[in-house]
Amino acid sequence: MGILQDQLYAHSPIRLQNWLISLYGIKLYRERYGQYYEQELERLRRDPNEAAPDASLKHLNEFLQFCAQHNAYYKRLFKEHGITLPLESLEDFKRVPPLEKETLRTDETIFSDLHAPIIGVTGGTTGKSIQVRFTEYDYQIRMAHLDYFKEQHGFYRGMKRASFTGRMICPRTQKNAVYWRYNAPMKQMLYSAVHSNPMTIPHYIDSLNEFRPVALDGSPSDMIEIAKYLKTHQKTLAFRPIALFPTSETLTPSGRSLLEEMFQAPVYDQYASSEGAPIVTECEHGKMHLRPEMGIIETDDSGEAFVTSFTTHGTPLVRYRIGDRMTISEATCSCGRRDTIIESIDGRQMNYVETPEGYKVFEGDLTAAVGVLPNSIIQIQVLQHKIDEIEMLYVKDEARFEPGHEVALRQEVERLFTTRMNVFLREVKSIQKEGNGKVRVVKRLYT
Ligand SMILES: [Zn+2]
């Protein structure tokens, strides 16, 4: 993101910033949409349901062979643990020890010995950032899968899109109420997640009404801000997008239904991560699918996920402890795709409330508690002030919230704990975002 950190950018007039964004857009365009991208997208369009019974093992063996040849870390690891390739079965794969975040962050031998010019950086809630490298091939295959996912829902590359981004596209001190920049090569209006708040939201809505995007993507908390504003002020949008594609934050069921109501468009979720986790996408039947050529996701008894991603040749992720919790389903989906179904993605492993008894109540369980109410709560945040005291902040949907809902919600939350935990609820107008423009569902405020 060199161009955006540049002092030159920060001090340029908006017109010049739009030009610089577009210039950067051309660079991204070339990296993303080359021959690998085109070939993969064509392949997906031709054979949408390809999934032979042993597809996972075949793709896994190819990837592990690559690691054994081009990656010093895995070469050593396989030798130490007596892993011989190709593996006979997925059962053998369990003998490969998990890759830890700390290894990814500190061990230089994790980078493969080939040209991998595309850098991915994860912020992470721990404050420690991890840098990974992708080859152009990796990146283009990922883009093809994401674009194919959107095509399934009617959005094609070249259509106008609005994207909510946590990147610093406008200087923090900007006086002008223009919180968006235009990336012309991709017909993409970028909206700053960092600048959106209840005061600035009307400007965002005006801009969207003028731009009339076919789809919206990016941080869902900003789309929710917009939906809340529309609802409160009994307004409607002057356009109707064909779909919303939120990324990078956990979307609650109530947040989702508010988005669908106010944008009058279906929401389709996806899961990926900047480290390069396998892409999981939602089908028209509302199920999250993992294709066998993307990677493998395993979970342990506690629901912690380990991901292996075949589009990470630069920094291979093999049984990577990604820090998310998931539930994998054995069922098949009525859409007919014969791949792995991820029943639920239950949020970050580290986002939990610690109880006085020493057990953990995870973000997913806390947001699920809201499900006891008929979509009358739009957003929540749980602040843990002490080991035995939590406060749940909630934003209500004015039209649906009834007296008695708060009591019902508190009882539901209390069921997750013993009587030693003191549970308080407080209504707020909005949930404050972190510096990166995202909302954290669980925050621990003591050390
Ligand atoms: Zn499906």
Q: Are 129 and 156 in contact (CB under 8 A)?
A: no
What is this structure's pTM? 0.82
Give the pLDDT of residue 5.
Answer: 57
> How remote is the CA of residue 164 from the centroid of ligand 1, in Å?
27
Q: Mean pLDDT throughout 366-378?
A: 81
Residue 43 and residue 293: Cα distance in Å, rounded? Answer: 12
The neighbouring-strand residues paired with 244 are 216, 267
Distance in angstroms (rounded) separating the CA atoms of residues 384 and 187: 43
C-alpha distances (whole Å) from 244 to each of 239, 262, 348, 383, 412 are 13, 11, 22, 29, 30
How many Å lie between the centroid of ligand 1 and the Cα of residue 275?
A: 25
Q: Is the pLDDT of residue 128 over 60?
A: no
Ligand 1 centroid distance, CA of 330 (Å): 13
CA 53 – CA 238 distance, rounded (Å): 48
User: In whole angstroms, what is the distance from residue 413 CA to residue 365 CA?
Assistant: 9
How far apart (Å, rounded) are the C-alpha atoms in residues 246 and 268? 7
The rounded Å distance from CA 47 to ligand 1 centre is 15
What distance in angstroms lies between residue 288's CA and the mean position of ligand 1's atoms? 7
Task: Compute, in angstroms, the gap from residue 44 CA to the centroid of ligand 1.
Answer: 15
CA of 334 to the centre of ligand 1 (A): 6
Q: How far apart are CA 128 and CA 119, in angstroms?
A: 16
Complete domains list, the chain, with CATH:
2-348 (3.40.50.12780), 352-444 (3.30.300.30)
Helix (H) or strand (E) holding 148: helix 136-152
Ligand 1 centroid – CA 203 distance (Å): 37
Residue 403 Cα, ligand 1 centroid: separation in angstroms?
39
Strand partners, 161: 188, 215
Pairwise pLDDT comparison (376 vs 63), residue with the higher score: 63
Query: pLDDT per residue over 162-204, tens digit each?
Result: 999 877 788 767 778 899 999 988 899 999 887 887 889 999 9
Q: Ligand 1 centroid to 320 CA: how many Å?
A: 26
For residue 275, the 8-state DSSP code is T
